[in-house]
Structure 1
């Protein structure tokens, strides 16, 4: 119940903030404002309240030395939000003689509104089902699908470090005892909701559903604003779920030749793909099921894009042509004069506060807004917005990260095996089919406004093929996914235009247009549809990782380990140990390595501890690495080397053993 109250308070707080951000009562012709305000209220309110609770909890833990800092954080934060709401309502009541949380937009299209309610109602049911399909608890057992559990491992560990622990100052559970280099606020929110009494699967799935539905509402609104057609908004959502690519066509052709197509389609439970790591599911809906914090960031980014469409539309509405128009956008007073500085400041702050919710989304959003700025009037507002956003991002990095947050370097070609221009073109064709390459042709048939938007949406793709921000180049796929999500609008527009046809066309021409539209939709979505089938099969019965949520081992770790204790374990991913929220010395190395930690060093030290026969070497290494507990599991290995217990057992006191004798824990300090 407290978790629901938290989300309601966040929504109410966000509603008031969103009115200031978007301009209360302001509407765009043909667009029902409710689908802007609902996601904006959730996103902004959740952002503000969650940061408030985190900062207060941090203060009580670090400064006040409180053992239960979330208690104070939630009491003060939620009470503060309620007081703010009461003061605002009293102020508005005195000013207006009445007060409503939400003013009904009288200009709304009621006929379209009914269709939109049905659309988003069905969408919410579908997304909720999918979230619970891959992550749920039944009879005390947590089930996590095989295509997603790898990402859930570090995320659930971070959640439990807050709900079951005292992770202030915040550390990364799979690389404890150091700073936190990975964006964690979405996980903090979920962990806090579990702390407030909401079961972890409900907390994670509800927030994920609200984030994804909210983002799709804004994507639909953006499509409607760009194209003016509801069918384009609906089709853009369809193309968002089911990606374009050549993998299915090639897959089918190969198995037709082999004579086993039907059996393979029925039995296959792995993602298909012929480009590097495409079979990881890098490009399909699975990304949004396992990287759930990405869509919260995209929600805030899409809100910013929608608001800054005002600036872009003003800039592209001028009648000058060619070089003169470009010159006036860059070298004229009108091109730089501020239009709405308050809105730019607020949006910059909100985007900046998203840096530790999902940094990739913020970078992708700023790249698109950079494209908007080139073609817009009011460039001062863009500069202010970007400056404020970068400042808040920098401030968080200085607080949470020791050293540099990122180490950008030139890395041309992304995952293309051939890094030349022809090689990249070939890669894009096999990876996405006509999706990206076809836009090059499409742009010539567009007006100035649409052309400016499309080019801006491509900026994150260009970034992905030029710069490397983390040790793992695969992470750049998020920038391509960000561009992909927004570019679906233009393919939806192309399909709808072909289907409708133009005035003056003959019946045969219109029929041919409809056929071409159907062929285009199939080519743009069939690979994604098959990927979705694989998601369903690959996370079904017998293909789920399970964790006992009532484990005595988990309970013992929660009760006995302090916030600064460091636990050495085998290279665990997601199990009863990680669910305790304990700080692991070196968990599954990929998670920490891809976030920028030196896992090779710790792996070498862990191997020494687990394999040495010299007690002095053992004690010296343990003391040097500040390890307070060592967990030994029967038959376990570390970096493919068998773990030994004799030296550890002789040097330290055994403080815990599971009933089956499989796991034993040794304390290294008195």
Structure 2
């Protein structure tokens, strides 16, 4: 109940913030950027805006107060006890000020006044709701006392669940990474903190993670729809933009079909396949399809914020092009209108919003700043862009300094992303196979677009260019999110040119438009079917909701206690909120941690010859619990000296028999004489 109240309060807080920071926000739904009337309910814009701003403000407030109360027995209890009443008071005061004292008018009709458009939008967002429900609940749900984690998400969910439980079960303040405990936190974890707080407030863990994930996913579609309508003025273009958001363009399906043996039925091959298709690097991970929003739940939230910021900033670009004056170098760069600040409130508020997003999803912040940078070059009121950028960077740097020891990124020029051959033609071949007909459709849209739209296309492609030229981390694969951002945004223009083709009277144009829709979505549709089939037919990771080991971890440890284990992904120990000295190396390595050093330490501790040697290493690495189980006994990375561990520390948890025996040793309970050893 309290978890649901928290989300409702987030919406109320968001309403209050937007009422003061963006007082004319509803008017953005009244017309296109070309000042043509729109038949659009303002609430398609307002509700996502309230949710985004409310979640950012409320969740950060809870986290900050909990951090100050880190020495309390339950910091998160203290934080919620302060922030939830404060949030209710803020909403009440804002409501009184806006609705009672000033008697502000209602922000338009809840539904669009055009009945046909009402039906269309109801169908569209009903489809998005169903899509979100299927994606989130087919991959992560509890039933019959078991937590089911889909095979397509369990890898990413290992640190996600570890972080969630480190807050809902533990006391992870100051925060460290669940799969590389005892150090700083380099991973953007705040969405997991949100889920952890919701679980702490009484939501079952699947509800705590799935509900905000679903809302974020739906918000992203709603705001993309608004952005598409603002740019194109066409409802059908907004619908198609959402369709292209959901289902990617790629040659992957056609490449798959080309490799089917002659004697095998195409339909049978499609039906029997349960792997993600595509022949580009890591495409078999589901790197580009809807599965990304299943295993990176915070991405949709970040995209929602990005779309919202772009909706509010693009008028400055259109103002430069649409006022009827000739564009000259002097007017673009040296005139007063190019640099003036009409209202600092909007850019300041948007800077705070973007800056607050850094540890919800840092890549989206970078992607959004890239688009804004290119947009600003030919926009009016350029200093307003600068205000937003400065505040965003300042807040991001402050968070980075607080959470991360040392540099947050290691930027370097790297041409080619993860293409097999990092040459010009190798990259072009990679893009061709990865994106299918989309680049050609965008090129056609560019040729037939107005000048301002051409420039927007270039701005929207900034993250794409960045992904293929710069690497910020040791694992350049994470740049795939920049490519996805650009593809989603330029999909608006793909949708627009297809709508224009349907406007033609000749059937040839309409058939071609229908064929393009097919080519732009068929791989993504098949990917979606594969996501469902993989998570329905293949083995899930199943955890017991009530498990002795999980309960032991919850009862006997907190988030400052480090567990020495085999490199785990997800299991009952992680589900209990255990902080791992060295989880599966990929998670920590890709985030920038020194996993090689800890691999050496793990080997030395498990192979230690004497109690004194083991105890020295344990104290050096701040290990509280040592786990010995089957994976340790058969490890090829070290030769387990289990007898030495048993001679050194008391076993405080044990289950199973023989080589499957699962034992946990408490290093604070020594059973050897240190003076003798």
Name the TM-score class by shorter chain.
over 0.9
Contact in 1 for aligned 2:277/2:283 (Cα 8 Å): yes
Describe how 1:59-98 pairs up with structure 2 within 5 A.
Answer: 59-61=68-70, 65-92=71-98, 95-96=101-102, 98=103
1:82 and 1:482 map into 2 onto residues whose CA distance is 35
Structure 2 counterpart of 1:304: 309
Matched residue, 1:5: 5
Deviation at 1:557, TM superposition (A): 0.9
Question: Is residue 2:555 matched to residue 1:554?
Answer: no
1:415-444 residue CA offsets vs partner (Å, 9 max, x unmatched) = 112222222111100111121344234312
Residue of structure 1 equivalent to 2:666: 667
Paired residue for 1:454, among 447, 457, 474? 457
The corresponding residue for 1:600 is 596
Partner of 1:210, secondary structure, is: helix
Shift in Å, 1:319: 4.0
SS in 2 for 1:573: coil
Instruction: Report the secondary structure of 1:669's partner residue.
Output: strand
Which of 385, 389, 397 is 2:388 aligned to?
385
1:645 maps to 2:649: no
Task: State the partner residue of 1:626.
Answer: 622
Question: Which residue number in structure 2 is paired with residue 467 of structure 1?
Answer: 470
- Once the two structures are TM-superposed, the CA of residue 479 in structure 1 deviates from its matched residue by 0.5
TM-score, normalized by length of structure 2?
0.94
Question: Do residues 476 (structure 1) and 496 (structure 2) align?
Answer: no
Shift, 1:455, TM fit:
0.8
1:196 aligns with 2:201: yes
1:249 — aligned with what? 254
**What stretches of structure 2 of length at least 5 have no aligned partner?**
32-37, 670-677
Q: What is the RMSD of the two structures over their aligned residues, measured on CA atoms?
A: 1.8
Task: Report deviation, 1:90.
Answer: 2.8
Deviation at 1:599? 0.7
User: Residue 18 of structure 1 aligns with which residue?
Assistant: 18
Q: How many residues matched?
A: 656
**How far apart are 1:358 and its partner, in Å?**
0.3
Q: Give the match for residue 145 of structure 1.
A: 150
Contact preservation (8 Å) 2:151, 2:538: no
2:140–2:148 CA contact under 8 A, matched in 1: yes
Residues 1:171 and 2:180 aligned together: no
Q: Which residue of 2 aligns with 1:610?
A: 606
CA distance in 2: counterparts of 1:122 and 1:424, whole angstroms: 35
1:281 positional shift: 1.0
Are 1:414 and 2:423 matched, yes or no? no
How far did 1:103 drift? 3.3
The C-alpha deviation readout for 1:452-489, integer Å capped at 9, x for no partner, is 11111100000001111111011000100111111111
Residues 555-593 of structure 1: CA distance to partner in whole angstroms, max 9, x if unpaired? Answer: 111111133211101111011011111211001111111
CA contact (8 A) 2:14 2:50 kept: yes
Q: Tell me, in whole angstroms, the C-alpha distance in 1 between the residues paired with 2:597 and 2:317.
A: 50
**Offset at residue 229 of structure 1 (A):** 0.7
1:432 aligns with 2:435: yes
The alignment's TM-score, normalised by the length of structure 1, stands at: 0.95
User: By how many angstroms is 1:113 displaced?
Assistant: 3.3
Change (3 A) 1:639 1:378: farther
Question: Deviation string for 1:506-554 (max 9, x for gaps)?
Answer: xxxx110011011111111111111111101111144311111211101
Q: 1:638 to 1:162 in 2, by over 3 A?
A: farther
The answer for the alignment partner of 2:113 in structure 1 is 109
Offset of 1:22 from its aligned partner? Answer: 3.1
Runs of 4+ residues over 6 Å off in structure 1:
none
The answer as to whether partners of 2:43 and 2:110 remain within 8 angstroms in 1 is: no
Does the CA contact (< 8 Å) of 2:603 and 2:637 recur in 1?
Answer: no
1:571 pairs with 551, 567, 570, which one? 567
Q: Could you say what secondary structure the match of 2:311 adopts?
A: helix
Counterpart pick for 2:586 among 582, 586, 590: 590
**Structure 2 equivalent of residue 51 of structure 1:** 60
Unaligned stretches of 5+ in structure 1? none
| Alignment of 1:366 onto 2:361 | no
Contact kept? 2:128, 2:221, Cα under 8 Å:
no
